[in-house]
Amino acid sequence: MELELPSGSRADHDIPLRGSPFPPIADYALLSDCEVCALVAPTGNVEWLSLPRMDGPSVFSAILDRHAGHFRAGPVDRSVPAARRYLPGTMIVETTWGTSTGWLEVRDALLIGPWHHDAERSERYIRAPRDHEAEHVLVRVLRCLDGFVDVEIECEPAFDYGARRGTWSHAGDAYGDAVCDPEGDQPLRLRTDLRLGFEGPRARAQTTMRAGDTAFCALAWSAHAPPADHEEAEARLTVTRAYWHDWIARGRFPDHPWQIHLQRSALTLKGLTYAPTGAMIAAATTSLPETPGGERNWDYRFSWLRDSTFTLWGLSTLGFDREATDYFYFVADRLEDQDLQIMYGIDGRPRSR
């Protein structure tokens, strides 16, 4: 499914013609590994990511404040891509850039890999684990298609909804491995085959890619390491693509021109499902005002029982009974010791923080 052409800009670019520095919410692409969600602006900027789970504090929240953290991979001094799309049947986003000197392709994904808790139980999972789980890695793979393109990687976390910055340092002897320490929280690890340098709270790399050149960058937030090189990044991206293809193939979709739209809707609903408990969040975002500058800001990273009923109906109609069953038992767990409320946290807590 093609995404609409963008009208936004990266965090520190000029305000576009429509008069707001914030892209319309419809212009963001959704990434998910069924434990966290990320929103990617048309500029190639990751402007929303909460860790270590969907309802955690954000580390990138430029969607709320243009100086509250971002992570960009794309051409230098370009903010409007030639095309964007989800790779069919997946939650992988592909952005194609055309510059005056060449063409660049960037693919973004939250990695999903084989279940790796073989010797111990996961502290997160209440539902029966499947064969795959989140790898806790955001990967971005770049390829120069033609000519040459000046590209940049720029990662500036702002922890706890922009309240705190981290300190970057290199890991190892080379320039492609770095750690951002937020003082007390889980550090972020950034790996790339480009040469990283630091500008205050920002890690940055810049190079010229020529036709056939490839590059990658990967951000990890757990003890599990991100890909070590481009080859491994591509291999793990292939596993992620296969996971989504396998999942969507289990659905029941008519042979109809609207099939691709039904599949995209199903993938979006699956992306809003928190796999460890089976809960389904209403949206990936928090604190978006009803009107610009307004006071009515809501956190929709909760599971509303009434709204989720429609989600369950949609998934069940399309043949995804496992997700419906997981959510049924999420609700059943709540009935053991209390009356039902209108909403719950994704771990089952009855009240917001």
**pLDDT value at residue 16:** 52
32: helix, coil or strand? strand
The amino acid at 202? R
Average pLDDT estimate for 154-164: 93
Q: Pick from 120, 128, 90: which is nearest to 264 by CA? A: 90
Other CB atoms within 10 Å distance of the CB of residue 180: 24
DSSP-derived secondary structure letter, 26: G
The amino acid at 227? P
**pLDDT value at residue 7:** 37
Binned at pLDDT 50, 70 and 90, residue 189 comes out as very high
* Structure-token pair, residue 204: 């940055």
**pLDDT value at residue 6:** 37
329: helix, coil or strand? helix
Q: Say whether pLDDT at 112 is over 70.
A: yes
**pLDDT value at residue 186:** 80
Which tens digits make up the pLDDT trace of 21-43?
788 888 999 999 999 999 999 99
Q: Say whether pLDDT at 11 is over 70.
A: no
Q: Say whether pLDDT at 185 is over 70.
A: yes
Q: Say whether pLDDT at 353 is over 70.
A: no
Q: Say whether pLDDT at 98 is over 60.
A: yes
First to last CA, the chain: 36
Q: Pick from 333, 109, 326, 59: which is nearest to 217 by CA? A: 109
The domains of the chain are located at 25-256
Q: Say whether pLDDT at 101 is over 60.
A: yes
Rounded Cα distance, 72 and 206, in Å? 12
Tell me the DSSP string of 162-200. Answer: HTB--EEEE-SSSSSEEEEE-SSSPPEEEEESS--EEET
**pLDDT value at residue 117:** 73
**pLDDT value at residue 146:** 97
**pLDDT value at residue 172:** 84
Say how many CA atoms lie within 13 Å of 79 toward its Cβ: 15
The amino acid at 39? L
Among the residue ranges 152-161, 182-191, 266-275, the one predicted with the least confidence is: 182-191
**pLDDT value at residue 13:** 45
Binned at pLDDT 50, 70 and 90, residue 201 comes out as very high
Query: Can you count the helices (H) and strands (E) in the chain?
Result: 5, 21
Q: Say whether pLDDT at 284 is over 80.
A: yes
Average pLDDT estimate for 273-287: 90
H or E element in which residue 94 lies:
strand 93-98
Q: Which residue has the higher pLDDT, 45 or 351?
A: 45
Other CB atoms within 10 Å distance of the CB of residue 347: 15
Rounded Cα distance, 185 and 193, in Å? 26
Other CB atoms within 10 Å distance of the CB of residue 262: 18
Percent of all residues in the chain with a pLDDT value above 70, rounded to a whole number: 93
Which tens digits make up the pLDDT trace of 208-258?
999 999 999 999 999 888 999 999 999 999 999 999 999 999 999 999 999
The amino acid at 270? K
Q: Say whether pLDDT at 321 is over 60.
A: yes
**pLDDT value at residue 18:** 57
CATH class label, 25-256: mainly beta
Phi-psi region of 147 (alpha: psi -120 to 50; beta: other; left: phi over 0): left
The amino acid at 298? W
Average pLDDT estimate for 183-188: 82
The sign of the CA dihedral 12, 15, 16, 19 is positive
Average pLDDT estimate for 60-89: 94
